[in-house]
Amino acid sequence: MGDNMTSITEFTLMGFPLGLRIQMLLFGLFSLFFVFTLLGNGLILGLISLDCRLHTPMYFFLSHLAIVDIAYACNTVPQMLVNLLKPGKPISFAGCLTQTFLFLAFAHTECLLLVVMSYDRYVAICHPLRYSAVVSWSVCVTLVLTSWTIGVLLSLIHLTLLLPLPFCRLQKINHFFCEIMAVLKLACVDTHINEIVVLAGAISMLVGPLSSIVISYMCILCAILRIQSGEGQRKAFSTCSSHLCVVGLFYGTAIIMYIGPRYGNPKEQKKYLLLFHSLFNPMLNPLIYSLRNLEVKNALKRVLGIERDL
């Protein structure tokens, strides 16, 4: 084992083993999707900043979700595009571990932000008279800071366990970015403790938050059904439908990756699911909130000067 271990300075990301023409096609498509992700989430941030009617707790949380989505995409997509353009281009050891840390931090933070957003909708619909008192600005800031802090601390735990591991000479990562399980497979020692910690973290960040969201929306559904007017019900459903779509996309892909059944080649399945998770989810989120949310569409019209009376 001593001959196989060395001081590691870089890794090689294998990416997608496809033909040159297909890689060039994917490079063009993914570059376009990446630009849409930045523009879409940037538009959400701009609208929330410019339109005073969106200066509410709900859109404060949405702005942080947009920030996470931008950071999420910027952490993984540029390296993937480089690999499509120049297959086999190495990434430094420090850069790889930084990418692993940031990916986990943003993923954990988004999990918690989605829970916070469901709590906000729960209070707004189930306890509307107490909303301004319960969801005050100080509470909003505390919830957001707590989400970011927990996300970073959990990622630090994984990074602390990953750093001391010795790695073998063949440093080819079968992925398009430095995903933690793919990196652990290159270690020259037993990594069961690391894998158990990763699994425990995944379960705690999936089962716990998702259960909270499901309970919140069960209470919300009961409250909506008690609303007498059809207009009130439609308005309540419209404010929740966008968030439910985002929750479904995020947790759906995450659960399939870590809990769902495996068919064929699990490693390749996980790679393509993570592609959807890190590229398409951040791109779709602003589309969902802009297309399904009347307040966001009206804010866009006001900013563009189409409807000044809204």
Domain range list for the chain: 10-300
Structure tokens at 206: 């999936």
Tell me the percentage of the chain whose pLDDT exceeds 90: 33
Q: For residue 72, which of 284, 288, 266 has the smallest C-alpha distance?
A: 284
Residues 6+ apart with CB under 8 A from 154: 104, 105, 108, 201, 205
More confident of the two residues 236 and 29: 29
- Kindly report, residue by residue over 99-136, the tens digit of the pLDDT: 999 999 999 999 999 999 999 999 988 888 899 999 99
Residue 169 has pLDDT above 80, yes or no: no
Cα dihedral across residues 270, 275, 278, 280: positive or negative: negative
Q: For residue 83, which of 18, 33, 34, 36 has the smallest C-alpha distance?
A: 18
Structure tokens at 12: 């090689």
- Phi first, then psi, for residue 10 (nearest 5°) are -160, 160
CB 99 within 8 A of CB 75: yes
The mean predicted confidence, pLDDT, of the chain is 84
Q: Band the pLDDT of 176: cuts 50, 70, 90.
A: confident
- Kindly report, residue by residue over 240-275, the tens digit of the pLDDT: 777 888 888 888 888 777 665 555 555 667 787 888
CA atoms of 307 and 298, how far apart (whole Å): 8
**Amino acid letter at 210?**
L
Residue 308 has pLDDT above 70, yes or no: no
Topology of 10-300 in CATH?
A: Rhopdopsin 7-helix transmembrane proteins (1.20.1070)
For residues 270-295, b (16+ Cβ closer than 10 Å) or e, as one string?
Answer: bbebbbebbbbbbbbbbebbbebbeb
Q: For residue 108, which of 216, 255, 206, 217 has the smallest C-alpha distance?
A: 206
Q: Band the pLDDT of 310: cuts 50, 70, 90.
A: very low
CA distances from 247 to 155, 211, 254, 306 (A): 21, 12, 10, 31
Q: For residue 63, which of 51, 48, 43 has the smallest C-alpha distance?
A: 48
Rounded (10°) angle between helices 294-304 and 281-291:
80
**Mean pLDDT, rounded, for 173-199:** 87
Residue 187 has pLDDT above 90, yes or no: no
Stated pTM of the model: 0.88
Sheet holding 90-92, edge to edge: 90-92, 10-13, 172-173
- Phi first, then psi, for residue 171 (nearest 5°) are -100, 60
**Amino acid letter at 64?**
H
CB 189 within 8 A of CB 166: yes
More confident of the two residues 61 and 2: 61
